Every structure is written in C-alpha cells, then in structure tokens.
Chain A
Amino acid sequence: MSDPRDNVQQEFLAEAQELVEALSRDLLLLDEAHQRGERVDSALVNEIFRSVHTLKGIAGMFGYKHVGTIAHALEDLLDDLRLGRTIVGDPLLDVLFDSVERFQRLLALEDPQAPEEKSGVDAYVAAVRSIGAQPATEDGDPLEQYAIGSAVLSVLTEYEEHRLRACIREGMKLYRLRATFDLAAIDDSIETLRDVIHDDAEIITYLPSLEGGNDESIELVVLLASHVPEAELKAYFEGRYGTIEVIEERAPLPTNPPNPTLIPPDTRSELPPSDDDWGQASLRSLANSVRVDIRKLDDLMNVVGELALVRGAVSRVVESFAADPKHRQSLQELDRVGRGFERQLSELRMRILDVRMVPLGQVFSKFARIVRQAAREHDKQVRLVVTGANTEMDKLIVEELADPLMHLVRNAIDHGIEPVDARMRLAKPAEGTLALNAYHKGSNVVIEVEDDGCGMNAHKLRETAVARGLLTAEAGHDLTRQDMLNLVFLPGFSTNTSVTDMSGRGVGMDVVKTNILRMGGVVSIASEHGIGTKITVTLPITLAIIRALIVTVGSRPFALPIAAVREAVPYSPKDVRSIQGRKVVTMRGETLPICDLARLFGLQPRGRQAGRFVIVCAMGTRELGFVVDELVGQEDVITKSLGKTLSSVRGFAGAADLGDQRLALVLDAPALFTEYFEGAGAQLGAETHA
C-alpha cells in the first residue's frame, strides 16, 4: 500500500491541524474575555500553553523546524503569561492570533524547512520576544497573611504559587477541602472536580493527607480559592466531597505548620512532583480519543454487509432441514438465535454510523477566527453567536460543508452587515450579529446563517438578473418575491461589482447551492430589506445513506437521489418538440427540456416509447426531465464512490448495492445539469435531437 512515511506525515499534519484549530478556538475565548474586561481564565491559558507545547514537540519530531521555532517562542511568552510575568493585552493577542495564520501556512508548505521562510519566522519570533515580560504590579507578598503552612508552600510550583498570589490579590478566599478519592481514578476525579467548580473556584494544589483512606482510596487536602461565600461552598461540598474549612487570614507562624494533618516535611519526597499535572493532563486528553481514517469505517461497514450475507446463508441451510420433524426443536432454537444475531447486526451497523458523526462545532470554530479577522479588516463590528455546535453530522458532510458555509459567512459580513456608522444612522446596534445555528430536524440537520445586516432588495436582484441577460424582462415580471430572492442562485449572478478579499472570488451562490445539492441537501433564502438575511441549509445527517428513486434504463437499474427529484410523469413521444436542437415537452404550460438517458448512455430503450417516464429534476431555478424506461421504487441506498479509476467518467456520483451483489449506478444530477446546460450541453442536446 502507500508509503508508511507518508502515513506518518499525514498523521502529524492531522494532529498539528487539530492543535492549531484548538489554539485558534481558545485564543478567541481569551480575546472575548479580554474585550469584556473579565479576569484571565488560568485554565484557558494552560490549555493554550498545552496546545503550543505539544505542537512544538511533534513539529520537532517531524522536522517542521519553523513551526517548532515559533512554537518555542510562543511557549516562553505563554509561560510568562501563566506565571503572571506578563499581562493579556491587544499586542499580546495580536501576536498570538498571528501565530495561527503562520502555523497554518507553514504546515501547508511542501518543504517544512524552506530556507526562504526563515526571515519571516525570525521577524515574528522577534515580535514575540519584544512583548516579553511586563510584570504585573507587586504589592508585597500576600501569602504571608495566610496560615497555609510552610510545608505546603515549600512544595508549590512556581506556577501554583503565582496562582495562589493572584487569587488572593483578586480578593478570593482560601479554603481547605478534605476529601476522599478512589486511588484508581484519582486523576480523573480531580480533573472532574476542576471542571465542575471551574466557574466558582480554582484548585491551587492538592496533597495527600495522612489520615483517612485505605488500600483503594486516599484522602486529599485540596487548596481552593473562591469568590463564592463560605456558606454556599460548604453547602455544595459537604456531604458530596468531604469537609471544607476556611483558611483564615491572620499572622502565620511560617516555620510551624499549624495544621498537623498536612504532610510532614520528612515524607515530602514521596509526593508526586506537582509539576506532573501538566504532562498528565495533556496525555489524558490524547488518550481519550483515537483518530481513525474514515475509510476504515467503510471497511467495517463492508464486514457488516458480509455478515448479513452469512446470516442469509445460514437461514437457507436451516430451511433445508425444515421438513424434517426430528429437528423441529433445534430449528426453533436456531431461528431464535438467528433473530438475535440480526438484531445485534443492525445495532452494530447503527454504532458504526454513529462513529462517523462529529459535532458541527469542528467547522464552526474555524469561522470564529474568520469572522474576527474579517470584521477587523472591514472596520465592522460583528458578534458571532453559535448555537447547536454539538449537533452531530457525518464527518464527510462536515468536511464538505466547510467551503459553502465559509462563503455564506463571508457574504454576510461583506454584503450583509453594515459599517458601524451606517448602522448608527439606522438606529441599529453598532455591533452586527452573525448567528450560526444548527439543530436536528427529523433525519436532517438544519444549519442557519443569519445576519441582522442590510438584507436583500428583491427588485434590485431582478433588475440585475435582467441586466446580466439571465432573465427576460417579461419573465421577470411574473416572479414572486421569493423567486426574485432565488435569483442569486443562478450561475453568473453576482451583485458585487468589485472583487474584494472577502468574497466575490468567482465562487457564487450557485456553487454553494450545487455543492449542497450534491450532498443531498437543500438551501433556501429569506431576507427582509434593511432587517437582515437568513440562509437555511438542510442536509441529511449522513451521506452514507441517501433516499433514491430507482429507475431502469435499457434494463439496467440506476438510482436518482430523491433530493433532486420533483416528480415523475408519463412520457408521451408525440408531445416532444424540438427547440434549437434540444427536445422539450410542455408541462402545465411551461417548457421542460428533456434528456433521454438511454441515448445519453448509448443504451437500447426497452419496450414501447409510450410506456416510459419523465423524471422532472430541479436544480436552482432550472428544471430538466430525464427520460427513463421504468420506475422501480424508492429505496434507502448506500452510495459508494466509483474509485479513482472511473473518476473521469462524468454523470455518476457512485454506485449503490441493491442487494444480491447487484449494483445500481447513482446519477450525479448536478453534473448532468451542468453538462446539459453548459459546455458539453450543446452536444448533449444535439445527441438527443439526432
């Protein structure tokens, strides 16, 4: 198979990509908190540090020198940040955000060591270093006022000590929580506790106490800092975790530990080095999930298919014994077992499909950065509101969705949301809102991209379409308001006259629509002039299974994804006319171009012409009728790609197993539309004419 070194390289790139995405996500959170003037979340800074640290490590292993150099410089900066040697501010955030771009560009390079990149990297590292240490104001050591005990203080790491000071400075109270933990799961339990109390309290450190516990459990003394009133904290922890007491603010006797239950100095060496929680935490987060090539899941699915065949074979053997009364009891038993097997098999199938599901947040998180950047570039203020980021969809769809959604998001900022001054004049809030909403609806996922910008002027859209020659003035006259809005989906329609950095790069709404249709989805548009625009994308949860109309052409089965099908009507050859070499029929007063699939595919149509059907398909505002021999019915099918060998053959999205090893080719409706109406369309039409 392929070069194992390539695989390792791919693994690295995938992991690095994930780290950079996580970094980008966390930086946005940091930025948001900073803009709102909130205190710096130390857990978040740690998370960022961890991403950069891991990235540095793996970049070193795989020879990505520049990535490693940048990560190293950032690591120092972040270490200063978490130790309170520098503060969060715009220069620091700018440098950090800049790193995301740089990492992504460097990871995309053919040559990870490219010498021409060196000067840019060096300049960036210099910029990082220049931020350097900006010490936070010192005002004496607050630790001395607390009866924490030197035994504890002496084992605190520099970081823990810093956090302790910072918490005291923020006016938090210190608490000592005494709780018993299961030895086997102690790390997880602490981590869970950390998460649970995250918003209300911070764990500074924890040490084993000498009391309590047994072979399987251990009592820990946890040093906590919190803003929450003592009574509330007590009510929460007592009973659930253990006892909690306030560490009083008073003159300490530093050399004499006031709390004898804290570990005495002579056993200190047995303590786990408290630095460890860094390493362990990052190891744990990696160990919880595995990265799997989606093709392996396809392979698993194939094995399930094979098992179903085996089950069928067993049934047939059982049937051959059915006539023999001697075996009756065993056969009943076998039948029962067989049905149990079948249930498990369908369960297995569901579980495998489930593994393919990933949260849409994976793609949404990419937009957060884009929105921030785009808003800055355009001097617009945009707030991104995401709901339903944990809505799950098939990994393949989520991947495919990134580009169309990106286009919609860019459109909303570029053309939708107005500049601040314009919004003020309209008495709108200065900050525009861009909402990304995702939710389940039956077996579909709905994704909405909504902005409170200027909306679309339907009549202006119609004028533009007529001006571009996409529509005759008469045809335009009859359009409903919704029809006018839908004009933006026409190929060659683009309202922006200037090409900006943001959108208008030649990928129009028609491409968005085509891509979404290809995934078996639909896209619709709602807009009020002056109020805002909402684009709604509805997609099946999984690509693996689509609903298809099975038809035959030349006695061979073909599958047509139901998403594209409007209706099926009987074909009457006598109603067919020719317009400019293309065959058309008239349906309800409208002219419908038709394409005979038998002719297109060079097959012999079966039976009488009159018994055939026209399948009316719609794509955007265009309709096309495919002439087929027979309708077989609707079926849920699993589409499999035709592989690299046949990728150059146009018109098929893949093949679907109809059972008994018989395959039906799945028609690629968008490709057939493109072929018919553009480029090769002329030949296609002529062929139909011939």
Chain B
Amino acid sequence: MTQVVQTDTLVPGSEHQLGTIPVLSVSAGNETYGFPLPAIREILMPPPLTPVPRAPEHFLGVISVRGQVITLVDLPKLLRLEVHERQTIGRVLLVDSGEELIGVAVDRVVQVSQLRPEQIEYASAMSAELSEYIVGVARVPSESSTDPEEMVILIDPGALLGGLK
C-alpha cells in the first residue's frame, strides 16, 4: 500500500506531520467535496463572471482577482457526477493546482476537518471507476443532526490543471 505517497499528493508540504491532514470541505450541487487545505489560497465572494464562448461546459468563465485573470470551473460538471444547472455561485475557492490558480465555484464552505489517513478510502483501493481528479472518499462527522457521518469526495488539486488543459 502506497499510502505515504498518496498522502503527499493530497497535501503538498509537511502538514501531515502529526499524522492528520487538514481538509476543507465544501458543498456543490448535491455532494460534499474536500480539498487539502494548504492548496486553498483564498475563499472569495464571487466576483463578476465573464463567460468564455466556445469553452467546454465545465468552464463557467473567467474572473478577475486583483488583476489576475482566473478560470472558474464547475466542479460537479467537471467530475461528470451530476447534471445540474447552476443558478448562483455561493463562494469561489482559489485552488493552487501547482502551476496556476484555478477558481472553483461552490455553494458554500462547510468546515475544516483533520483527517487521519485511515479515514480515507483511496480511489486506487476502490473498484468503482472514478474521475482522475478524485483521490478518494472520506467519512467525516457531520454538522447535520440526521446523519452523523458525511461522505466527502477528496479532490487532487494537482490533477485539476492536467485534466483541464
């Protein structure tokens, strides 16, 4: 099992020294997604969006953040997890993909949780066919009273750019 390597992929840097990985979970559409916290540069109120004609559907357009032009993507569409028409954007995450910043549109930010490696079910260990952007899934305690646990789909920021090019 190559767990060490995968932990690294999820969290660039040495944040997992204590054996836990800080993960920011956000909700978009009907799912909850998790990003390694160190890859999140900023969480923004959505700036004015400029759609780019002829771009693939998962690109919502471009936004200007302090003079920098950033591409905004729709996560559920990119992962082909659901077909929904986004009405409004709640927040924009600026995600460091390793080469350039990518804006990810989400409905809301849920929480930051410390994940232990054993909480993560890695995609490589699962039989189901998953998108290349997904590292795995984790079950984390939920805020909701009805369901004590929530499933978080863990995203690999490094793979995002590769897949989007």
Q: Is B100 in contact with A556, judged by CB distance below 8 angstroms?
A: no
Of the candidate stretches A92-100, A334-342, A635-643, the one touching chain B is A635-643
Contact indicator per residue, chain A 655-690, by CB within 8 Å of chain B (1) or not (0): 101001111110000000000000000000000000
User: Count of chain A residues with Cβ under 8 Å from any Cβ of B?
Assistant: 35
**Would A642 and B48 count as touching, CB distance under 8 A?**
no
Are B67 and A663 in contact (CB-based, < 8 A)? no
Residue from A306, A556, A655 within 8 A of B66 (CB atoms): A306
Contact, CB under 8 Å: A646 / B71: yes
A506 to chain B, nearest CB (A): 27
Determine the distance from Cα of A654 to Cα of B53 in the docked complex, in whole angstroms: 13
Judging by beta carbons under 8 Å apart, are B69 and A655 in contact? yes
Partner of A649, one of B52, B63, B68: B52
A305 touches B67 (CB 8 A): yes
The answer to whether the Cβ of A358 comes within 8 Å of any Cβ in the partner chain is: no
Q: Is the CB of A306 within 8 A of B99?
A: no
Most buried by B among A600, A603, A649: A649
The answer on a CB contact under 8 Å between B99 and A663 is no
Tell me the minimal C-beta distance from A446 to chain B in angstroms.
31
Cα–Cα distance between A301 and B71 once the two chains are bound (Å): 19
Q: Is B80 positioned at the interface, with any CB of A under 8 Å from its CB?
A: no
Decide yes or no: A306 and B67 within 8 Å by CB, A1-B96, A1-B98, A556-B51 being known contacts: yes
**A644 sits at the interface (CB 8 A):** yes
Task: Find out whether the CB atom of A649 lies under 8 angstroms from the CB atom of B54.
Answer: yes
Cα distance A111–B63 when bound, in Å? 41
A647 at the interface (CB under 8 A from B): yes
Q: Is the CB of A645 within 8 A of B161?
A: yes
B19 interface hit (Cβ, 8 Å): no
Q: Tell me if B151 counts as interface (CB < 8 A to partner A).
A: no
Residues of B with C-beta under 8 A to A601: 53-54
Is A648's CB within 8 Å of the partner chain B?
yes
**Is A2 located at the chain interface by the 8 A CB criterion?**
yes
Complex alpha-carbon distance, A88 and B125, angstroms: 70
Contact with A along B3-26 (1 / 0, CB 8 A): 000000000000000000000000
Contact A655-B67, Cβ < 8 Å, known A649-B52, A663-B50:
no
Complex CA distance for A421 and B67, rounded to whole angstroms: 60
Known pairs A644-B100, A654-B69; A603 contacts B53 (CB<8 A): yes
Contacting residues, chain A, for B64 (C-beta < 8 A): 655, 657, 661-663
B-facing mask of A455-483, CB < 8 A → 1, else 0?
Answer: 00000000000000000000000000000
Report the Cα distance A370→B63, complex, angstroms.
45
**Contact pick for B54, options A301, A645, A651, CB 8 Å:** A651
| A246 CB to nearest B CB, Å | 65
CA distance A649 to B165 in the complex (A): 10
Q: Are B55 and A646 in contact (CB under 8 A)?
A: yes
Contact of B161 with A302 in the complex, beta carbons under 8 Å = no
A367 at interface by CB-CB < 8 Å:
no
Per-residue interface assignment for chain B, residues 61 to 102, with 1 indicating a CB less than 8 Å from any chain A CB and 0 otherwise? 011101111110100000000000000000000001011101
Q: Do B69 and A645 have beta carbons less than 8 Å apart? A: no
Asked whether A643 lies within 8 Å of B70 as measured between CB atoms, the reply is yes
Name A's interface SS: mixed
A650 within 8 A of B: yes
Residue B33 at the chain A interface, CB threshold 8 Å: no
In this assembly, does B47 line the interface, its C-beta being within 8 Å of a C-beta of chain A?
Answer: yes
- In the assembled complex, the Cα of A587 lies from the Cα of B104 at a distance in Å of 47
A661 to B64, CA, bound (A): 5
Question: Known contacts A2-B99, A661-B47, A663-B62; is A646 also within 8 Å of B67 by CB?
Answer: no
Tell me the nearest residue of chain A to B54, going by C-beta: A649
- A655: chain B residues at CB < 8 Å are 50, 62, 64, 69
Residue pair A662, B100 in contact (C-beta under 8 Å) = no
The yes or no answer to A602 lying at the interface (CB within 8 A) is: yes
A644 to B67 alpha-carbon distance, docked (Å): 17
Contact A602 B48 (CB under 8 A): no
Q: Does B43 contact A (CB under 8 A)?
A: no
**B129-164, CB < 8 A from A:** 161, 164
Q: Closest chain B residue to A302 by CB distance? A: B67
Interface residue A652 (Cβ < 8 Å from any Cβ of B): yes
A646 to B53, CA, bound (A): 11
Complex: how many Å from CA A662 to CA B61? 12
Residues of B within 8 A of A650 (CB): 54
Q: Which residues of A contact B35 (CB under 8 A)?
A: none
Residue from the list B51, B71, B96, B98 in contact with A643, Cβ < 8 A? B71
Q: Which residues of B contact A648 (CB under 8 A)?
A: 165
A641–B71 Cα distance when bound, in Å, is 11
A309 surroundings in chain B (CB, below 8 A): 66
Would you call A556 and B50 a contact (CB within 8 A)? yes
- Tell me, in angstroms, the Cα distance from A651 to B48 when the chains sit together: 22
CA distance A462 to B63 in the complex (A): 49
CA distance A600 to B62 in the complex (A): 19
Please name all residues of chain A whose beta carbon is closer than 8 Å to the beta carbon of B68 when the two chains form the complex: 302, 640
**Contact partners of B52 in chain A: CB under 8 A:** 642, 646, 649, 652, 665
Instruction: Kindly list 14 other residue pairs between chains A and B, CB separation below 8 angstroms, not including A306-B67, A661-B47, A665-B53.
Output: A1-B96, A305-B67, A602-B53, A643-B69, A644-B165, A646-B59, A646-B62, A648-B165, A649-B52, A649-B55, A650-B54, A655-B50, A663-B48, A663-B64
* A and B contact pairs by CB, cutoff 8 A, 24 listed: A303-B66, A305-B66, A306-B67, A556-B51, A602-B53, A602-B54, A642-B69, A643-B71, A643-B100, A644-B100, A645-B59, A645-B164, A646-B59, A646-B62, A646-B71, A649-B54, A651-B53, A651-B54, A655-B50, A657-B64, A663-B50, A665-B50, A665-B53, A665-B62
**Nearest 5 Cβ contacts at the A-B interface:** A601-B53, A305-B67, A302-B67, A663-B50, A645-B164
